[in-house]
Amino acid sequence: MMRSYINRKGTKVVVTEKHLDTAIKIKEELQKLSPTRRTSWARHKNMMKKEGFLDSDTNEAYRCLIKSEQKERGVLPSVNKHADLLSDNKLQSIKFEIGELNSAKLELQKQGTSVRKLVRDVNKDVLFIEHIEEALKKKDFSKVGVFSKYAPEKYKEQKTMIVCLSDIHYGAVVNLPDNKFNRDICARLLNKYADKVIATIIKENVSSVYVMNLGDLIENVYMRNQNLYNSEETLSEQIVNATELVIKFLDKISAYVKVKYSAIAGNHDRLQGKKDSNLSADHAIRVSNKIIETYAKYSNTQVKFVAAEDYYHSIDVGKYSFCFIHGDLNNLQKKTLLAELSNLHGKHFVAVIGGHIHHFTMLEVGNDQYQVTFGSIKGIDEYSVNIIGAKSSRSQGVVLIGKDGFEIRKIGL
Ligand SMILES: [Mn+2]
């Protein structure tokens, strides 16, 4: 069937199948470049021209035609199909657009700045919230784990465990000989971590778990210019989908013990890349926390959400106080940090625990007092290899607390 639309002059314009193919692909590519998946139709028309289609338009009738055609075709093309189209040189205009983004550093920075400005504007925009709502509608939070799989032994000392989640970087794509990472691998690793946590719960007779998220939940698409090319999904999708993985993680553990959850923000969670220009509380964790809080409130889960400050949290277990930070705003290798944070918050911390540097370190800075960094879920990336020159294994970490002591433990993944 030939498809057509009415142009501005009131003339009926018949378009070919090939026109529609190309128009849809270009629309999708443009949407990928936009944080709210909006299409710039003026740009679309220009790119269509470059592809040799002079009969496209920017008016409502044309936009409706493309939209209905997309709907009719049902499925949105996969990422692979996009890649095919690009590698087959089928869409020169898209290659040109991306090439333009890639080519000059100056141009890139200019693009980056305008993208960041857009993000800032968009954050205040109701569209961002709509997009989150849209992404959330597809989720099913009604299936909640059953709290019956395990009972701690009564005659043994029952322990508490703080389970840290750090530097998940959901949405990052890494393809190095030493490390592969994407959303599927991310989901598998979190599942594996949950299994290890459950094994520890049973082995150590743990009766309650506090899951502490140390930040960098998402990779973010606006951190560094390169992130445009090494990440998948839009910002809002990353937040929603990463949060869903956290909920699955909490859900799985909460089938064994009661679970509390708190989260603080890392540098990658900032909705504006540069730390000095970012509003102090404008971060992905705020959105993610709201989702988890709502989930905990309205489902009959054993998970309890506990609000933390944006960049700091403390947990008291028995006589011990633990301090949590992401690690980008403080230097965890500086031996006076624990004392400084204790002073600042008026608590005698036995340990300050962070992430950020993506590998496990433990520094004893006093009598049984520690400064600790736990590793990442993401593992090494091009950035850490080329720029920082650091390599490290994937790991997370837990703190086991009993009556007479605590143990900080690295969990390899
Ligand atoms: Mn990180």
CA of 277 to the centre of ligand 1 (A): 19
Q: How far is the CA of 364 from the centre of ligand 1 (A)?
A: 23
> Confidence class of residue 215 from pLDDT cuts 50, 70 and 90?
very high
CA of 174 to the centre of ligand 1 (A): 14
The 3-class secondary structure across the chain, one letter per residue, is: CCEEEECCCCCEEEECHHHHHHHHHHHHHHHHCCCCCCCCHHHHHHHHHHCCCCCCCCCHHHHHHHHHHHHHHCCCCCHHHHHHHHHCCCCHHHHHHHHHHHCCHHHHHHHHHHHHHHHHHHHCCHHHHHHHHHHHHCCCCCCCCCCCCCCCCCCCCCEEEEEEECCCCECECEEECCEEECHHHHHHHHHHHHHHHHHHHHHCCEEEEEEEECCCCECCCCCCHHHHCCECCCHHHHHHHHHHHHHHHHHHHCCCCEEEEEECCCHHHECCCCCCCCCCCCEHHHHHHHHHHHHHHHCCCCEEECCCCCCCEEEEECCEEEEECCCCCCCCCCCCHHHHHHHHHCCCEEEEEECCCCCCEEEEEECCEEEEECCCCCCCCHHHHHHHCCCCCCEEEEEEEECCEEEEEEEEC
Predicted TM-score (pTM) of this structure? 0.68
Is the pLDDT at 187 greater than 70, yes or no? yes
Instruction: Please give the Cα distance from 196 to 382 (Å, whole number).
Output: 28
Question: What does the pLDDT read at residue 147?
Answer: 64
What's the gap in Å between 56 CA and the centre of ligand 1? Answer: 44
- Indicate if the pLDDT at residue 78 is higher than 70: no
- pLDDT score of 87 more than 50: no
Q: Provide the token pair at 371.
A: 């400064």
The pLDDT value given to residue 413: 93
Query: From ligand 1's centre to the CA of 305, what distance in Å?
Result: 23
Q: What is the pLDDT of residue 126?
A: 47
* Distance of CA 374 from the midpoint of ligand 1 (Å): 11
The more confidently predicted of residues 106 and 389 is 389
Domains of the chain in start order, with CATH, are 3-103 (no CATH), 159-412 (3.60.21.10)
The identity of residue 279, as a single letter, is: L
Q: Each residue of 233-289: pLDDT tens digit?
A: 888 889 989 999 999 999 999 999 999 999 999 999 987 655 554 446 678 999 999
Q: Count the neighbouring beta carbons within 10 Å of the beta carbon of residue 228.
A: 19
Note the pLDDT tens digit of each residue in 387-397: 555 666 799 99
Bigger pLDDT: 14 vs 128 = 14
pLDDT on residue 179: 87
| Residue 327 Cα to ligand 1 middle (Å) | 9
Ligand 1 centre to CA of 358 (Å) is: 6
Bridging pattern class, strands 349-354 and 369-373: parallel
| CA 355 / ligand 1 centre spacing (Å) | 7
If you measure from the C-alpha of residue 128 to the centroid of ligand 1, how many angstroms do you get, rounded to a whole number? 24
Q: How confident is the model at residue 307 (pLDDT cuts 50, 70, 90)?
A: very high
- For ligand 1, the distance from its centroid to the CA atom of residue 116, given in whole angstroms, is 19
Q: How far, in Å, from the CA of 310 to the mean position of ligand 1?
A: 16
Mean model confidence pLDDT for the chain: 82
Q: What is the pLDDT of residue 320?
A: 97
Ligand 1 mean position to 115 CA, how many Å?
21
CA of 283 to the centre of ligand 1 (A): 14
pLDDT of 317 higher than 50: yes
pLDDT at 117 over 70: no
Residues of the chain with pLDDT > 90, as a percent, come to 50
Question: What is the pLDDT at residue 270?
Answer: 86
What pLDDT digit, counting tens, does each position of 161-183 carry?
Answer: 999 999 999 999 988 888 899 99
